Structures are given as C-alpha cells and as structure tokens.
Amino acid sequence: MKTGEQTVAIAFDLNFRHAAEIFSGASDYIAEAHLDWQLMPLNFGFETRLMELARSGQLAGALGTFVSDGWVQGLLATGVPAINMFNFSKITVVPTVSPDDYATGHAAAAHLHTQGAQRFAFFGADGVYYTRLREAGFRAGLTEYAARSAAKKASRTASELHILRPGPSLPEQVEALKDVPELIGIFCSNDLSARELITLARHKGLRCGKDILVVGVDNDPSESIFAGIGISSFKQPIRETGYQSARALHATMQHGSAPLDLELKLPNQVIPRESSLASNRARIGQLAANYIRENLALPELDAASIAQQVGVSRRSLELATKEQFNTSPYQMLAQARLRLAQQLLRSTRLPIMEVGIRCGYLSAYHFSAWFKKQCGVSPKGFREGRGIEGGSGGAL
C-alpha cells in the first residue's frame, strides 16, 4: 500500500451489475477529487468481514447497504465513518444516499394513468424499506389523480388499490384479478417481481397490454428476456449513487458531517416497453424514444434512421410520436440530447468536448453553439451556474 493511501470498504448485497456501477461511480469521484483512496469491495454477507477490518484499524471509511441502525452504531463505535447506500433498511444514524423511491412510485402511477389503466395494483415484499416507499408514492400518485378527476371510477383508484404480496398465495391473488373488468395497471417493486407477475398472469390467461399493464424498477434486461416481453421499468441512478456516496463520505471524513443535498433528485423516468403499452402507436412511439435514448452519441441519428430501426415509415413514426408525446421525432431527439448535456454538465467534470461527443456532436464548437442556442448560456457557463435551466428539456 502506498504511503498515505486510505482503505475504504464499499459493501453491497446487490447483483453484480449494480455493484459494478456503484464501484465505477465511487471511482469517478475519487479520481475527480484526487483522493488517495483504495476501494475494497465486499459483497454478499459482508457484515462480519467489514467489522473485522474496522476493529483492526485498517479502514478509513465505509460505504454500504446496511441492515440496521444497531449494526451501524457498532461500526461507528470503531471510529470508522460510514454512509448508507439505498433504502434497503431505514437507517437514521448515518446519512443515506439513495434514489428517490417515493417519487418513483409517484411516477409509476402517472405513467399507468396515461396508458389508460382504470384499476390499480401494487406487487412487492413489505419487509424491504424501498418497497414501502415505492408503494406509498404509488398510492399518493393515485390519490392525486383521483382528486383531479371528476370521473366516478377515478375517485376509487386509491381506496381500491389491490395489494399483491409474494408467497404461496400469489397464484390465487393473480387469479382474483381476472374478476376485474377494467384494464389494471400494476406497479411492481422491482423487475424480478414484474417478471414473476407477468409469467404467472400469462398462465392465468391475463395479457399485457390487453388486461394488465405492468411496470417494474431497475431496468434489468435479463428480466425482460425471461419474461418473454419487454418490461417497462425505471432506470435507477446506480452509478450516481456510488458517486454521491463517495462524495458524502469524503465530506464526513474531512469535516465530521456530510452535505445536506444527498438525496438524488434525478428524473425518475420510466422506460416504457410492451408490458405497459396499450396501443400500437404507443409502442412505436416508445420504441423510438428508447432507441433515441440509447444512441444519442450517434451523429447521424435523425428521424429517417430512427424510423428504419423501429421498422415503420417516417410518417407512421411522426404520427406515433405525436400521439404518445405530442411532439415530433426531431424535437424528441433535440430534447433528449439537451437533457443529457445538462445532466453531464451538472454531475460530472467531463471536458466540454467529451460531453458534446456523448450528445452526438463531434465538434466542440458546434456543440457549444447548439447548446447556447437552446439554453441562452454556453456549456461552461451552465456548468459554473449549476442549475441555469432553459431550452426544451421536457420529459421524453
């Protein structure tokens, strides 16, 4: 170990895909802040090993998905500062850096309403804290919709929310949904639950897009593969969580306390796929939106290439995006590029040219000129202002 190097444990009981993103985000902050930290990854069942390291005096700090306040207090008693990541448990003795799970549930309600659901259900295990937050946000979103609507059916959406729990009785719970005559919007606490529900519903004769609309969380492509249908899902800011956790731990180690702006206020944006889309045009529009989102770095991306990838005519694409988003393919592309540019300028220290390349502009000059036209300020000025909003940055 180099002289002055500090060992920081980063412990997570998560799947390896998430673990890699967390590690990358934390590493980004360490590099940007020029810290001499050595990250020590610990995975499943990390508690015993982490406590041994803490008691030995080898750790300068710890990031982790902790299970209880009592356990964290034992860690703090060794003199090791810590930051909790994600809402797997309700942790109050140290700061928690986590996506906004309540807002995710709220946004799920809005999406399912938009797609025409008239009844609603929530599926998830009650013992996980993030599940409770997502369920609460979902219920609040339904309540707000009912309050805004004069329709008698809408007024009962929150009070008649079906709660589905995993376990031996789940087949009977899903069977009972067949008695509901209206289209049912179901928010699942994660993609694993969504896949389980979709598979079971299919066996019961319930069809996605016809009888039920399903949304999950995590944007895990493997779950869509096993479900046999694209699962609509929220992409959580996993990498950003790692970055902000390292930032918070650094502040704690320096000043004894973490910054107040820990909660990730990033857009809780659903990526709709077949599982929650009721109409054919809605599916075409979302396929186009997904393709745009995943290929913003392509300079040649335009309406014609998008239509070709989606497998429709340009006119069909224009009609679909107009119906689904009330905009054109060109405007969708411009909005998506602007949002990405603003996000990168706010949350990273990437060179302006690199930001432009990721947004499809190979020339820093052309990127800067385009950005200034959209926002009224240069990329450098936007980054220094940290929050100067402008342009057509609406939701995609």
Q: Is the pTM of this model over 0.85?
A: no
User: What's the full length of the chain, in residues?
Assistant: 396
CA distance linking residue 14 with residue 19, whole number of Å: 6
Q: Which two tokens stand for residue 374?
A: 């959209």
Domain 101-234 sits in CATH 3.20.20.100: no
CA distance linking residue 225 with residue 3, whole number of Å: 48
CA distance linking residue 111 with residue 102, whole number of Å: 15
Pick the CATH number of 279-385 from 3.40.50.720, 1.10.10.10, 1.20.140.10, 1.10.10.60: 1.10.10.60
Strands, sheet with 37-42, edge to edge from the N-terminal-most edge strand? 37-42, 6-11, 61-64, 82-85, 96-97
Per-residue pLDDT of the chain in tens (396 residues, 90 and over written 9): 445 689 999 998 767 788 889 999 999 999 999 999 999 999 878 999 999 999 999 899 999 999 999 999 999 999 999 999 999 999 999 999 999 999 999 999 999 988 888 899 999 998 899 999 999 999 999 998 888 765 444 445 555 799 999 999 999 999 999 998 889 999 999 999 999 999 999 999 999 988 999 999 999 999 999 999 999 999 998 999 999 999 999 999 998 887 766 666 665 678 888 899 876 777 788 788 888 988 999 999 999 999 998 888 999 999 988 887 889 999 999 999 999 999 999 888 889 999 999 999 999 999 999 999 999 999 999 998 854 343 333 334
148-154 own/partner pairs: CB under 8 Å, 24+ apart: 153/118, 153/182
pLDDT at 52: 94
**Phi (first) and psi of residue 55, to 5 degrees:** -70, -25
Determine contact, residues 245/261, Cβ cutoff 8 Å.
no
> Residue 216 pairs with which residues in a beta bridge?
233
CA distance linking residue 249 with residue 83, whole number of Å: 6
Q: Which two tokens stand for residue 336?
A: 């998506």
**Domains 101-234 and 279-385 equal at CATH topology level:** no
CA 224 to centroid of chain Cα atoms: 16
Determine contact, residues 271/219, Cβ cutoff 8 Å.
yes
Residue type, 243: Y
pLDDT at 260: 65
Residue type, 142: L
pLDDT at 157: 53
Q: How far apart are the first and last CA of the chain?
A: 47
pLDDT at 24: 92
CA distance linking residue 64 with residue 81, whole number of Å: 11
Q: Which two tokens stand for residue 316?
A: 């069909």
CA distance linking residue 14 with residue 267, whole number of Å: 22
Q: Residue ranges of the domains in the chain?
A: 6-97+238-255, 101-234, 279-385
Residue type, 274: E
pLDDT at 394: 37
Pick the CATH number of 6-97+238-255 from 3.20.20.70, 3.40.50.970, 3.40.50.2300, 3.10.20.30: 3.40.50.2300
Instruction: Say how many C-beta atoms besides its own lie within 10 A of residue 56's C-beta.
Output: 9
